């Protein structure tokens, strides 16, 4: 870290930064940057709507948050597009595009080889696989919402009616157009108003008893085991959580994925089957901190393997630790 380096911590207009697990609380930006200030950096807190009025320099660093609210998230994406051209932003812009966007995550998984879970990103229901079963997800669903197991064409038709069907008014207009347009013209018009929805499909992993929520703060790994609900295939949102020793293959897989994300911290959803790990989803900002807050300890990789460090962890101290280490090691 350069002495006197300027670091801007970007909050929402109301001072909100990051997720504490409660929608009525914010992380404390000053606590998060305490380690950076101690190393000689000049830290300023600035709301996102004022950021572009600052004369940013190439050596500056901008640390920012995102939001679960789509309009705020879109605003942050627009602003950070220009900020990234002026200085370093943390997390990097690609990870902002992936936030709350399972479709972009799927593209990253395919392009970067993140894990080995097969899947695809579509906007047309007719582009969903013709072989079954597979897992279907809306791109913006949180937890297990918008997630379903597709076993047959009948399930696809249910999804078509639920997520892809135009409204009554649009269907009436299309019918009237069909009477006036030529067959070729209506093919073009009909497709335009067919009804689309951004969604992903993923390989179904049968007979899973659980999956894992893994939070990584630089070199500290926190692991939560989530059991699958009875007569269901989903563990996220089940509420059946335990903190227990994970398979070493899981820790190694999480460490490998994290090293390739290029972020100081990350939240990973990972499934394990027959010793093989699968990356389900990931986030690198504004993710739920339950696993860290409630974990009785964390894991750190040593030369001789993984060591377990007992003790509760403070959320903001871990953000500060991860950011400081991340910037120091660049």
- Segment 220-279, tens digit of pLDDT: 999 999 988 776 666 565 567 899 999 999 999 999 999 999 999 999 999 998 889 999
Which pLDDT score is estimated for 166? Answer: 87
Average pLDDT over residues 300-307: 95
Average pLDDT over residues 109-117: 89
Which pLDDT score is estimated for 285? Answer: 95
Higher pLDDT, 1 or 195: 195
Which pLDDT score is estimated for 233? Answer: 64
- Of 33-37, 205-209, 295-299, the one with minimum mean pLDDT is 33-37
Angle at 173 between CA 169 and CA 177, to 5 degrees: 170
Checking if the pLDDT of 316 tops 80, the result is: yes
Average pLDDT over residues 96-121: 93
Which pLDDT score is estimated for 159? Answer: 95
Token reading at 299:
């894991």
Which pLDDT score is estimated for 23? Answer: 80
* Pairing of β 6-11 and β 61-64: parallel
- Out of 14-23, 38-47, 62-71, give the one with best mean pLDDT: 62-71
- Of 149-158, 165-174, 314-323, the one with minimum mean pLDDT is 165-174
Helix (H, G, I), strand (E, B) or coil at 179: helix
Cα→Cα distances 22→27, 106, 200, 247, Å:
10, 28, 28, 30
Bond from prior residue into 133 cis (ω within 30 degrees of 0) = yes
pLDDT tens track for 140-153: 876 667 889 999 99
Instruction: For residues 155 and 146, give the distance between their C-alpha atoms in angstroms, rounded to a whole number.
Output: 14
Domains and CATH numbers, the chain: 6-90 (3.40.50), 118-204 (3.30.1490.20), 210-323 (3.30.470.20)
Q: What does the mean pLDDT of the chain come to?
A: 91
Question: pLDDT confidence of 19, banded at 50, 70, 90?
Answer: confident
Instruction: For residues 120 and 330, give the distance between their C-alpha atoms in angstroms, rounded to a whole number.
Output: 33
- Helix and strand element counts for the chain (H, E): 11, 15
Which pLDDT score is estimated for 37? Answer: 84
- CB distance 229 to 209 below 8 Å: no
């Amino acid at each position: 870290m350069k002495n006197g380096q300027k670091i801007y911590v970007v909050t929402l207009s109301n001072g909100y930064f990051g997720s504490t697990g409660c929608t009525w609380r914010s992380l404390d930006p000053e606590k998060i940057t305490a380690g950076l200030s101690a190393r000689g950096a000049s830290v300023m807190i600035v709301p996102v709507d004022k950021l572009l009025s600052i004369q940013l320099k190439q050596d500056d660093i901008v640390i920012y948050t995102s939001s679960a609210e789509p309009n705020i998230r879109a605003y942050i994406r627009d602003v950070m597009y220009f900020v990234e051209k002026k200085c370093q932003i943390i997390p990097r812009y690609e990870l902002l595009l992936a936030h709350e966007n399972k479709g972009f995550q799927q593209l990253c998984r395919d392009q970067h080889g993140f894990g080995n879970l097969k899947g695809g990103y579509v906007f047309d229901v007719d582009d969903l696989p013709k072989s079954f079963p597979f897992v279907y997800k809306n791109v913006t669903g949180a937890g297990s919402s918008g997630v379903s197991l597709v076993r047959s064409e009948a399930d696809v038709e249910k999804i078509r009616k639920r997520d892809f069907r135009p409204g009554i008014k649009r269907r009436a207009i299309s019918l009237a157009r069909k009477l006036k347009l030529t067959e070729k013209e209506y093919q073009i018009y009909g497709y335009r108003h067919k009804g689309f929805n951004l969604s992903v499909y993923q390989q179904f992993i049968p007979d899973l008893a659980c999956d894992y929520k893994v939070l990584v703060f630089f070199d500290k790994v926190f692991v939560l085991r989530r059991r699958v609900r009875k007569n269901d295939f989903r563990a996220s949102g089940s509420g059946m959580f335990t903190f227990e020793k994970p398979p070493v293959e899981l820790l190694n897989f999480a460490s490998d994925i994290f090293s390739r994300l290029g972020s100081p911290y990350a939240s990973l959803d990972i499934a394990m089957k027959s010793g093989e790990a699968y990356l389900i989803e990931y986030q690198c900002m504004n993710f739920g901190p339950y696993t860290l807050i409630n974990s009785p300890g964390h894991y750190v990789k040593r030369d001789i393997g993984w060591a377990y460090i007992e003790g509760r962890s403070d959320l903001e101290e871990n953000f500060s630790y991860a950011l400081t280490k991340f910037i120091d090691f660049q």
